[in-house]
Chains A and B, each alone.
Chain A
Amino acid sequence: MANSDTYAGVSSPANGKVFEVETRVKSNTEVNGEYRLLILDAPQRVLDCQPGQFFHLLCPSTLENAPYLRRPMSIYGYYPEKGELHFLYKVTGEGTRALAELLPGDALNVLGPLGKGFSIAKDWRHLLLVARGVGLATLAPLAQEARRRGRKLTAICSARSPEVLMSVDLFRGMGAEVITVTDAEGSSGMENIEAIIQGRIDVGEVDALYTCGSNRMLRLLQKIGAEHGIPGEIALEQQMACGLGMCQCCVRSFRRNDQIVHERVCREGPVFDMQEAMAW
């Protein structure tokens, strides 16, 4: 069953066409002390992706690690012309430890592309994203898409120290303006980030805000967005089993029309409206 590669169903509205396919590892290398870049040789049909979507990876079982469920991973890059699918991941537990052991030539079963990605409305000329840590993985394809559509993008990249700032070159390479803030330099505090964004808003250069991950960042961007009437989107995480919308384990709470609603991160998300998202 591991080498199954089937598509027979009709596409469902949110997920579109989803495939369970066997890919080959091209490379799996350390990016810096904490992160690894996994490059897969993937069939064309899974490379029709949207920024913000994810794949569900069947991490291999090794001597020490035997992950059972799949692991969700944002698409860090998709390149139909090269037949490549990229993931940027942090080794945290059993599943990602097993991933880290993959060698070039090894097989990896992936399911995707899954979920609903970021949107870029027609009149959003200037996009601003705030990324920290592995959140860069989720937001990087947005920069690629912004360039493809001729939008301006400012990326505020945050990290513990300048050494662990990843993807700065990647964002620059995609024509984005990059602002780096780090804990080590004392520039990554919420007040400073707020001041930077405020400066951009003052010169009329923010039409939409994007982020993922942290509570503090969500609260800050919600506040800024509400004050200035700037729309925004956030990519959220939740534990997953099926990744397809069947099991209902990945729900989160959202505020909509004065009600609290529950939505599945794997299906209605992982990208959600910034103002509807609730801090946790």
Chain B
Amino acid sequence: MVDLTTRLGAMTLKNPIMPASGTFSEDLAGVIDFNTLGAHVTKTITYEKRGGNPTPRVCEVRGSMLNSIGIPSKGIDHFIQHVIPYYRQYDVPLVVSISAHNADDFARICQAISVPGVDAIEVNISCPNIEDDGKAFAMRPSTTQQVMTRLRGASDLPLWAKLSPNTGETIEVALAAQEAGADALVVSNTLLSMAIDIQSRKPKLGNLMGGLSGPSLKPIALRMAYQCSKAVDIPVIGCGGISTVEDVVEYLIAGASAVQIGTATFINPTAMPNIISGLEDYMIRHGIADLTELIGSVRDDDAADSVVFMETAP
């Protein structure tokens, strides 16, 4: 028997597989067994009711997709009355993703959502859609620190900071989140992108720009997960472009203690349970008894095995 459990600070998950926020809801219970998952992560909510962005809200690009869903939210009251009770039927930790336009509002929703039934709060400081021009708190260490400090004061629940690839300061932002008291980092959200229909010359998304997710995001998010896990002491949860067991193993080796699966569920709604059983098979096949043998095991001090082509070497 192999041990699939993983530790995220004070929390222990029965396996390292959980959904990514915005790609999961109660509706999936018609297709898969929610009890198989390591955690449940809900779509980002805001305190107030709000609408989303104009349609079209998604488009596909080669092998991946863009979305500009925004954060349509039924508000916190609806969430507390209907969504949290729904998830109590499962013996799986519930992680609630929250967002807000400023630190005050962030603190307000964080406090309000710290109720029985919620096991951790994921802080979406990285959504590229909610702020003008795709700006987000997680683009800079200073704004990350500001908002995370306020949140730390507002809740005793584990706080997971969800980082953004839309920054040149990945490590600084990760350190700022840790400094401010984050219990884990989720790495990462979508990459700000664009697509244009060359026939009509119009942007393919109603919101002009949107976030790239799916397989083409993976090398970028994997690089960030690696950088973050090297830099911080808190656990890193990998997210971006995972669709196979091998992708999961790669993130674990890079240093992630768990992973989130997003877009892959749109392609195969059964992706998560399949990957969980596939991971177990993988560990059996490779004689790996538990995940700690994989997590952070990257041999980055050894040279890569492949030939170095001198023409393209820097």
Q: Which residues of A does B touch, CB under 8 Å?
A: 1-2, 4, 6-12, 15-20, 58, 66-70, 109, 111, 238-249, 251-252, 262, 267
Contacts and interface: CB of A to CB of B under 8 A. Distances in A.
A243 B30 CA distance: 12
Interface string B20-64: 001111111111111010000001000000011001111111111
Interface stretch (B91-99, B105-113, B218-226, B265-273): B265-273
Given A20-B269, A111-B269, A248-B52, A68 B67 contact: no
B32 A8 contact: yes
Contacts of B117: none
Among A4, A67, A70, A249: residue with most chain B CB under 10 A: A249
B22 A247 contact: yes
B279 interface: no
A12 B64 CA distance: 28
A249 B57 contact: yes
Contact of A70 (B23, B56, B266): B266
Contacts of A242: 23, 265-266, 269
Contacts, number: 129
A111 B274 CA distance: 16
B22 to A, nearest CB: 7
A73 to B, nearest CB: 16
B31 A69 contact: no
The winner among A7, A58, A67, A68 for most chain B CB atoms within 10 A is A68
Contacts of B128: none
A9 B34 CA distance: 7
Contacts of B25: 245-246
29 contacts: A1-B271, A1-B274, A4-B270, A6-B31, A6-B273, A8-B32, A9-B32, A9-B33, A66-B63, A68-B61, A69-B58, A69-B266, A69-B267, A70-B266, A111-B31, A111-B269, A239-B55, A239-B56, A242-B266, A243-B266, A245-B27, A246-B23, A246-B266, A247-B67, A248-B43, A248-B57, A249-B57, A249-B67, A251-B72
A251 B31 contact: no
Most buried by B among A1, A67, A247: A247
Given A10-B29, A19-B31, A67 B60 contact: yes
Given A247-B69, A249-B69, A1 B270 contact: yes
A17 B67 contact: no
Contacts of B265: 242, 246
Contact of B31 (A67, A70, A244): A244
B30 A16 contact: yes
Nearest to B35: A8
B65 interface: yes
Contact of B29 (A12, A69, A240, A267): A12
Q: What is the interface residue range for chain B against chain A?
A: 35 or more
A15 B23 contact: no
B244 interface: yes
Nearest to A242: B266
Given A1-B268, A2-B268, A69-B266, 14 more contacts: A4-B268, A12-B30, A15-B27, A16-B30, A66-B63, A69-B60, A239-B55, A239-B58, A246-B22, A246-B265, A248-B69, A248-B72, A249-B55, A251-B55
B214 interface: yes
A58 B265 CA distance: 12
Contacts of A245: 25, 27
Given A68-B60, A69-B60, A247-B58, A8 B36 contact: yes
Contacts of B28: 9, 244, 246
Contacts of A240: 58
A61 B295 CA distance: 34
Nearest to B70: A248
Contact of A249 (B32, B33, B58): B58
Contact of A241 (B24, B34, B243, B266): B266
A4 B274 contact: yes
Contacts of B61: 68
Contacts of B64: 68
Contact of A17 (B30, B34, B72, B214): B30
Nearest to B213: A241
Nearest to B54: A251
Interface in B243-266: 243-244, 265-266
Contacts of A12: 26-27, 29-30
Contacts of B268: 1-2, 4, 20, 58, 109
B10 to A, nearest CB: 29
Contact of B62 (A2, A15, A68, A244): A68
Contacts of B214: 68
B69 to A, nearest CB: 5
Given A18-B30, A246-B24, A249-B69, A262 B51 contact: yes
A1 B12 CA distance: 27
Nearest to A9: B29
A2 B69 CA distance: 27
A17 B59 CA distance: 28
Most interface-central of B56, B214, B243, B267 (chain A CB within 10 A): B267
A251 B275 CA distance: 30
B269 A244 contact: yes
